[in-house]
Structure 1
């Protein structure tokens, strides 16, 4: 294994007058914020059982984290994963210590059919994004662009600084572009990386813009930042950064919007406002999945509601990086996933079921 699977969890261990458009007017109040919401949550929602059965078969993907999803043409869904184990799986539910381990992969779903996509060959699979000699790429939020022809995936480059377990650091942000028919990597383009913000937490299309949610990761504290670009191509237009009162072309003017977000979280349209879903990173290895509300995609994020407490969190087992899958929302029922891992890598070989995403059906209702 090239590095510990808990690496990403250990990531937690008035410039408006620059010629950019002023902040668009946002409502001072909305029902998403003024309503007192309560959550009714049911675990083990679809597609958890489908992915579990596929993992148990040992025919491809057998476990991973990140768990982003994107709707593709042809009624397909791309499940987008970072650190990934591949098969086989032993009859007793363990995995051989020789099982391939790669830094990123896709699982393409069409109906009940699943297919693993990697780089390399069937006999020698590799990461979808070829790793540099001194590190690897960690996959982030994704979306389609160019009328669905391209699958654009944000990626974080990590660099090794030595031979020790924790001798590595985040270096820069990229956009990996894949063909949605062949899933071949078409390009790998640098993204803004000058402000110590990992611009990979989430992507939201809203009113002609794509909003990019990043995380300033200081170890024990994590802060959300917000940028945006016109259209759906993160590489085609200049980025603008939220300053707290407007938008700036200067990345260093980006302000902290919310403390306590996970490196991977979601911001989606909800009612007449917006919903942020995240694991609570104000406490180390928290089990709490939290929802926040706002009338604007830039916050402020208020009225936190506990959506769930992950029961797996205990001892060596940790949970992290919860977020919504808005393209799979059913009316008022949200689909939320979170990742499960172990601080002891031997656990992941002893029990294949640990290192797989869990899914929640979450219904938000006004309190009576």
Structure 2
């Protein structure tokens, strides 16, 4: 492989001298914040079993991370993945060492049917966004635009800085646009990248805007930032950046909103406010999935609730990048996914079941 599969892990410790603006709160009063929420989790929620069964066939996608979902026309769902293994799968559940490995892919679900979408050909599959010289693209948050005709995916460009295992870095942000029926790449356009923020954590449509949630990733500490653009076209209009008290056209004016988020997290409407779901990156290799609440899409995020403990975490196995799938909720029950990986890449070849997303139903209720 060109790089380790564990690169997206949330490595987080508190770094001295790196402050987040106090969440004082003009946290407006709303039920989402005033309520004391409790969480009850049910693991192995759908579509985990469907994806696992598809992976076991070895006829396409056999495991990946990121795990964003986008509803498409015709009752379809696009599952958006970054690092991806394809088949085959050996009878004992292992992978051949020469199995194809791509940096990004889709799995399209319609009912109980799944189809893998890659670039290249069936005999020579490639990533959907071809790698640049000396690097690759990982996928982030995604949405449709142009009345559903486009599938837009934030693509993070990474580049190698040397020959060692960890000699690479994030370089810049792009928007990859695909036709939502053929999934052919239509364009790859740069989006703001001037403030050391990976604008790929989440996309939220709300009151005529698309809010873009980014992460300032300092390795040991991670901070959420917020931008927005009118409408759903991320490359046609100027972005605005949350300053803590208003909006600025200057990307460098963007403030740190919350420490301890994962590179991939979610911000969705909840009750009369907003819910942030994230892996807790305030501790190294955490198993904690947290929910925070706010009356505004820009925070402050308060009253964290522990949603789930990932049971896989331990030894060489790590979990990361949990987030909600709001279009697949059932009432007050969230559908939360998270990724599972190993610090020893040989284990991913020895057991195909490790490197697959897990799904948890999390029911939030007011405390009695």
Give yes or no for TM over 0.5: yes
Superposition map of 1:116-265 within 5 A? 116-265=116-265
The answer to whether the aligner puts 1:61 opposite 2:61 as a matched pair is yes
Indicate the residue corresponding to 1:23 in structure 2.
Answer: none
**How many equivalent residue pairs?**
356
The answer to whether the aligner puts 1:52 opposite 2:52 as a matched pair is yes
Indicate the residue corresponding to 1:282 in structure 2.
Answer: 282
1:27 Cα shift?
Answer: 7.3
Q: Deviations over 1:10-35 (max 9, x none)?
A: 6759xxxxxxxxxxxx8720000000
1:133 Cα shift?
Answer: 1.1
The answer to whether the aligner puts 1:34 opposite 2:34 as a matched pair is yes
What TM-score, normalized to structure 1?
Answer: 0.96
Indicate the residue corresponding to 1:4 in structure 2.
Answer: 4
1:221 Cα shift?
Answer: 0.4
Task: Check the 8 A contact 2:10/2:320 in 1, yes or no.
Answer: no
Distance 1:348 1:12 in 2: 24
1:11/1:105 CA distance change after superposition, 3 Å: farther
Distance 1:11 1:155 in 2: 21
Distance 2:331 2:294 in 1: 20
What TM-score, normalized to structure 2?
Answer: 0.96
Task: Check the 8 A contact 1:50/1:112 in 2, yes or no.
Answer: yes
Distance 2:357 2:41 in 1: 16
SS in 2 for 1:7: helix
Q: Deviations over 1:79-120 (max 9, x none)?
A: 000000000000000010010000000000000000000000
SS in 1 for 2:5: coil
Distance 2:148 2:198 in 1: 25
Q: Deviations over 1:180-203 (max 9, x none)?
A: 010000000000000000000000
Note the residue ranges of structure 2 that are not aligned, 5 or more in a row: 14-25
Indicate the residue corresponding to 1:109 in structure 2.
Answer: 109
Task: Check the 8 A contact 1:160/1:167 in 2, yes or no.
Answer: yes
Indicate the residue corresponding to 1:323 in structure 2.
Answer: 323
Runs of 4+ in 1 over 2 A off after TM superposition: 10-13
Task: Check the 8 A contact 2:279/2:287 in 1, yes or no.
Answer: yes
Indicate the residue corresponding to 1:342 in structure 2.
Answer: 342
SS in 2 for 1:275: strand
Q: What is the CA RMSD across the aligned residues, in angstroms?
A: 1.0
Indicate the residue corresponding to 1:16 in structure 2.
Answer: none
Note the residue ranges of structure 1 that are not aligned, 5 or more in a row: 14-25
Task: Check the 8 A contact 1:12/1:217 in 2, yes or no.
Answer: no
Task: Check the 8 A contact 1:11/1:217 in 2, yes or no.
Answer: no
Superposition map of 1:288-327 within 5 A? 288-327=288-327
SS in 1 for 2:349: helix
Distance 1:221 1:35 in 2: 29
Distance 1:66 1:337 in 2: 9
Task: Check the 8 A contact 1:106/1:117 in 2, yes or no.
Answer: yes
Q: Deviations over 1:331-359 (max 9, x none)?
A: 11110000000000000000000000000
